[in-house]
Amino acid sequence: MQIEFLGTGAGSPGKFRNVSSLALRLLDEINSVWLFDVGEGTQHQILRTTIRPRKIDKIFISHLHGDHIFGLPGLLSSRSFQGGNGPLDIYGPRGVKEYVNVSLRTSESRLAYKLRFHELTKQTDGLIFEDDKFSVYAAPLDHRILSFGYRVVEHDHPGELMVDKLAQLHIPSGPVYGKLKRGEVVTLEDGRTIDGRQMIGPAQPGRIVTIIGDTRKTANTLKLAENADVLVHESTFGKGESKLAKNYYHSTNVQAAQIAKKANVKKLLLNHISARYTGKLVYDLEKQARTVFPNTKVVKDFDMIDVPFQKG
């Protein structure tokens, strides 16, 4: 599991940062890539990575401002053109479906795969997706228009069956192993009773990644970020600009760090960086945030951040 940043700028594309998009690379886990926001030029950025568009099977949109969605129709078309034929799910605020459908209809783009829309409303607050490996939660943030934060939770990996221990106890292999692995209590042919739960190693806690799009400081961010391994948070303004941030419905680097600390996350990644910040000023953004939350990094386009398992 890695997070690859495709666009880390704010508002409009600049020479050094594209508009918003990031890829949650789940290739080792489920052979998929999930995108969060698709600003204009995201497909161009992807050309410079190892991501194959056909692997993208979920897209989560934080909000409908142009710098977060104007790359969507082009990406969807190119995915088809490049042989993608598996279904693709799009999660995002109400309106994303009409925008995509009008764009595809106007351009007479026929996709070789099924698009499934999951529109979110201001009532949305909680689980929006679940399978046997992952759950995704969404909650509204506080932006000029409806904007969502997402929390991706990997399910815990159950502990391994301790085959060495079973061998020591001279328990013969066979269907009984499956029952023990599922934690059942088993009576062997020789009369012994074995509790499966004692034959299983410790579970490996799943990882949690929280991605917070454009927003003011708000309680829902804290809820979504709780105990996350990685929190990606917007940082449109710098220290001392909280008034500006509030007026423009954005956050400062220090506000993001305060949330990271309070939510007990392990790592904070700051993105949505204004083009005003270059060189030393970026370094300062990071330094200011680190006084509140030391494990902070201001990311740039094409940064690839690993999300490791925590020691159990």
Active site residues: 67
Vertex 128: Cα angle to 124 and 133 (nearest 5): 160
Q: Is 44 annotated as a binding residue?
A: no
Q: Is 65 annotated as a binding residue?
A: yes
Please tell me whether residue 69 binds a second copy under the rule CB under 8 A.
yes
Segment contacting a second copy (CB under 8 A): 61-69, 148-156, 181-189, 230-238?
Answer: 61-69
Q: What number of helices (H) and strands (E) belong to the chain?
A: 11, 16
For residue 122, give the amino acid letter: K
Q: Considering CB distances under 5 to 8 angstroms, the limit depending on partner class, which of Zn ion, a second copy, none binds residue 311?
A: none
Of the residues 9, 73, 84, 206, which one makes contact with a second copy according to CB under 8 A? 73
Least distance in Å: CB of 70 to a second copy? 5
Please tell me whether residue 40 binds Zn ion under the rule CB under 5 A.
no
Q: Is 67 annotated as a binding residue?
A: yes
Q: Is 272 annotated as a binding residue?
A: yes
Q: How many CB atoms are closer than 10 A to CB 123?
A: 6
- List the beta strands (DSSP E) in the chain: 2-7, 21-26, 32-36, 56-60, 88-93, 115-120, 126-130, 134-140, 148-154, 185-187, 193-195, 208-212, 230-234, 267-271, 296-298, 304-306
Distance CA 207, CA 204 (A): 9
Of the residues 214, 229, 241, 301, which one makes contact with Zn ion according to CB under 5 A? 214
Least distance in Å: CB of 19 to a second copy? 8
For residue 223, CA distances in Å to 62, 132, 264, 306 come to 16, 23, 11, 23
Closer to a second copy by CB, 40 or 234: give it.
40
Least distance in Å: CB of 119 to a second copy? 12
Containing 283, the helix (H) or strand (E) segment is helix 280-292
One symbol per residue from 282 to 301: x for binding Zn ion (CB under 5 A), - otherwise; what is it?
--------------------
One symbol per residue from 47 to 76: x for binding Zn ion (CB under 5 A), - otherwise; what is it?
--------------------x---------
For residue 75, CA distances in Å to 5, 23, 39, 59, 71 come to 16, 13, 10, 11, 6
Using alpha carbons, select from 274, 295, 307, 281 the residue that is nearest to residue 17.
274
For residue 289, CA distances in Å to 176, 256, 257 come to 54, 8, 5
Distance CA 295, CA 66 (A): 31
List the interface residues with a second copy, window 105-144 (CB under 8 A).
106-109, 144
Least distance in Å: CB of 305 to Zn ion? 20
One symbol per residue from 173 to 212: x for binding a second copy (CB under 8 A), - otherwise; what is it?
----------------------------------------
Return the structure tokens found at 209.
């990644």
Of the residues 34, 36, 60, 70, which one makes contact with a second copy according to CB under 8 A? 70
Q: Provide the binding-site residues for a second copy, judged by CB under 8 A.
A: 11-15, 18, 40-41, 43-44, 47-48, 64-66, 69-71, 73-74, 77-78, 81-82, 95-96, 98-99, 102-103, 106-109, 144-145
Q: Which residues are annotated binding-site positions for Zn(2+)?
A: 63, 65, 67-68, 143, 214, 272
